[in-house]
Structure 1
Amino acid sequence: MCKVDNMVTAHGADHRRLRGLLSRSFTPSRIAMLALRIEQCVDRLLAEMAQRGGSADLMSEFAIPLPTNVIAELFGLPDEQREEIVALTYSRANTSATAAEVRQTRQRIPEFFRRLIALKRGQLGDDLASALILARDNGELVSDTEPIDMSKLGEDVTETLEEIPRRFKVIETVREKFTCRDCESISQPPAPFHATPRGFIGPHLLATILFDKFGMHSPLNRQSTRFKSEGIELSTSTLADQVGFGTAALMPVFDLIEAHVFAAERLHGDDTTIPIQAKDKCTTGRIWTYVCDDLPFGGAAPPAAIYYASSNRRGEHPQKHLAGYGGILQSDCYNGFEPLSVAEKKAVPITFAFCHAHARRKFFELADIQKSARDRKRRGKPISPIALEAVQRYDALFEIERQINGLSAEERLAARQEKSKPLFDDMHEWLKQERATLSRSSEVIEPIDYMLKRWDGFAGFLEDGRICLTNNAAERALRGIALGGRNWTFAGSQRGADRAAIMLTFITTCRLNDVDPKAWLADVFARIADLPVSRLHELLPWTWKRLREAEKAQDQYIA
């Protein structure tokens, strides 16, 4: 057996020692260099043997120079490791070999070192024992394909999250023209439908553009830049046209959501500012929202939200929105929703229920211990003990509300009469007593007067179980506008603000019903043109969700 062959086909126990030495001392690049030097030495040995014929004395001509020169000098291993490798390599060496044996070894060298490199890089692991050339205990060599007796201990699974880049495609529809010589007419199939007039953008891409703009607050100029980086040329003006056309195509669904919201027994109403670009400067416009959410009192009506935009906060705008509404409106104390002059002319005026979160916030600002500690360093004023007690009284009321959330209106009313009414009545008497002892310069007078002057509106929750203690539903619906304003800064025009209100209606309503807004928009754009008016209600988010779940259940049953 050739000396190099004996190094390659070491005994199993010795091979494990060699593998341990390699794992401590050799890098993959060093192993590759060692393989190259061995190949060069073997090639030189074969050339010399061809010239003189016969066998070769490996100990003197090949084997001895290789470990001492290559391992010790090239790789600079410590003496103790060099001695271990040398002893391992030549422990069963024959001192001579024929040319045929050397050629056989030459063919094995590349695969052997390739596997050693794979072991070093962690690509083979414990399976290396079945892939490398091993020897049995009796000294007989085995082939690299012969399996050995091993049992699986277990396995480890490593998960890596990766991104698949977006892909775009152009769908070409070929419409052949035919002519009839007898009737002298030309026929051709109709062009495929696009959601927008004279459009070329498919429903899924249009849904992505609208959702990114109004749901993720990504301005059109940023979207245009991203499309360009992906090889798609879509200018900002082209995207703006598609937004306008897409919004107009969804107006029938907007009308259905509007009718559903204002048919509710109780609404949450609020507004927030939005800068609107005018001729010379930006004006402070308003986005109004009305939210229907009956889940707190166990109502069966699906939740929904409607938005409107206006150029100012004049009362004529909410009065126009609420002209046909006569239920409960939870709001702040803005008197523009329905002044007395308007309420007297309506058959069923609005019943107002004011937000206790607004009232509590005014006390909390005067009782904020952390803020007071920060301001004290700047010679700020200490906290107000009256405000602190008011916050504690409110906390007891809110704890009761958390316990009865989701119960029916009757159960909520019974619990409030038993637990909340005594606390609230006592709070009323306490506020009046404290108000009488305060001077005009006291800061806590303002929140006390805010409640006492509107006490009937604040006490409405004790008479109707449908009323919530706060108007947080409307405030949550407006939170995205405040956050998104940092990205889009202002609405380009009043028409742009109206489009934003329409799209926010769809996106918020989808989220309230646990529907993916992007998937909903894509499906609606694909179907709305061919859907009869009598079936438009199928596109409402809550109905759309129910139909999809029914189809999914049916497909699973068939499968």
Structure 2
Amino acid sequence: MQPLINLLIEHLHKQPLLHMDETTLQVLDEPGKNAQSKSYMWVMNHTGSHSASVFHYADHRGQQVPLELLSSDNHAIMVDGYEGYQKACYDYGITRLGCWAHARRKFKEAQALQKKGKTGKSDQALAYIQKLYAIEKKIKEEPPDQRHIFRQKEAKPIVAKLKEWLDKSLQTVAPKTKLGVALVYLNNQWDRLIGYLEDGRYPIDNNAAERAIRPFTIGRKNWMFSKSQAGAKASANLYSLIETAKANGLNPYEYLQNIFKELPNVNDVEQVEALLPWNIKV
């Protein structure tokens, strides 16, 4: 499968934007680690024409992994607030975008602690964010240049009001409270969060990556762990092919049957390219 995975990675590196995320994985036999230690499954995802997801196993969550997965060919990534991505962004000149869904989630958590029937700052923040999402829903089908125009005209003023509200709120709310944590997160991620306004191709959140990695997290509840590093790598490759096949409207079982039959007979790169989900005749 690796030749196909290599082509998928090449395809992802040509895209204007990648979604990325990571989740825990237990691998029993890893050198120098006990069986209960955490490893990670990472995902790189592109949605749109020729959607693709590539999963990658690593025995750690360090910044070295994004450095290996990304390159100077990448233009922008959409990620959560984890700082392990930042080194790759600095080194390769990649624009880093922040996820409004993560910011919204933290205010939802704070809102849940409010007294019943009471409204507060969490509701105010969520109202601002909801307005931004309402604009995205309205312009979803527009081409990128039109999305950019709409965002500059309609979303930018809302963002300016939210920033003014945020600056005032930071002065009156204790940072260790749930609301304070949400405000500090919003403030620390601000420049990344508003980055989507600058290009109509950029999304408002990282939900695409979370959707891509969800089948793995659901499956993990059943199979629980990988026995070996080789097994974890094989899982990553299989998830890559299955999720990419699904994203391109193929039946994953039929797709895997086909490539397992054809891959042993390929002689050149062109024949491997013919087996990519958007090229294959199933």
Per-residue Cα deviation, 1:492-524 (whole angstroms, up to 9, x for no partner): 122211111110000000011010111111111
| Aligned amino acid, residue 51 of structure 2 | P
Aligned partner of 2:37 in structure 1 is 283
Over 4 Å off, 4+ runs: 342-345
Aligned counterpart, 1:53: none
Write the distance in 2 (CA, Å) between the matches of 1:403 and 1:411.
11
Task: Provide the residue aligned with 2:11 in structure 1.
Answer: 260
Identify which of 306, 331, 336 aligns with 2:79.
Answer: 331
The alignment's C-alpha RMSD in Å is 1.9
**Is the contact made by 1:322 and 1:337 (CA closer than 8 Å) also made in structure 2?**
no
Structure 1 equivalent of residue 109 of structure 2 = 365
Q: Does the 8 Å contact 1:283/1:311 carry over to 2?
A: no
Offset at residue 405 of structure 1 (A)? 1.1
SS at match of 1:406: coil
Cα contact 1:289–1:306 (8 A) shared by 2: yes
1:345: how far off? 4.5
Q: Distance in 2 between matches of 1:439 and 1:532?
A: 64
Residues 270 and 331 in structure 1, CA contact (< 8 A), matched pair in contact too: yes
- Find the aligned partners of 1:312 and 1:270 in 2 and give their Cα distance: 14
| Cα contact 1:355–1:470 (8 A) shared by 2 | yes
Deviations 1:79-122 (A, max 9, x none): xxxxxxxxxxxxxxxxxxxxxxxxxxxxxxxxxxxxxxxxxxxx
Q: Are 1:274 and 1:284, in contact at CA under 8 Å, matched by a contact in 2? A: yes
Could you tell me the percent identity over the aligned residues?
28
Aligned to 1:426: 161
Give structure 1 stretches of 5+ with no counterpart: 1-249, 296-300, 377-381, 549-559
Cα offsets for 1:9-57 (capped at 9, x unmatched): xxxxxxxxxxxxxxxxxxxxxxxxxxxxxxxxxxxxxxxxxxxxxxxxx
Q: Secondary structure at the match of 2:163?
A: helix
Q: Which runs of 5+ in 2 are unaligned?
A: none
* TM-score with structure 2 setting the length: 0.92
- Which structure's CA Rg is the greater one? 1
Q: Where does 1:347-362 land on structure 2 (aligned, <5 Å)?
A: 349-362=93-106
SS in 2 for 1:540: coil
Aligned to 1:535: 271
Within a 5 Å distance, the mapping from 1:486-497 to structure 2 comes to 486-497=221-232
Determine the C-alpha separation between the residues in 2 that align with 1:435 and 1:405: 33
CA contact 2:89–2:96 (8 Å) conserved in 1? no
Relative to the length of structure 1, the TM-score reads: 0.48
C-alpha distance 284-383 of structure 1, shift in aligned 2 (>3 A): farther
Q: Which has the higher contact order (CA 8 A, sep 6+)?
A: 2
5 Å-filtered alignment, 1:258-407, equals 258-278=9-29, 280-293=34-47, 295=48, 301-339=49-87, 343=89, 345-346=91-92, 349-368=93-112, 385-407=120-142
Q: What amino acid does structure 1 have at the position aligned with 2:110? A: L
Matches of 2:89 and 2:132, distance apart in 1? 31
Secondary structure of the residue that 2:178 maps to in structure 1? Answer: coil
Deviation at 1:525, TM superposition (A): 1.6
The one-letter amino acid paired with 2:102 is H
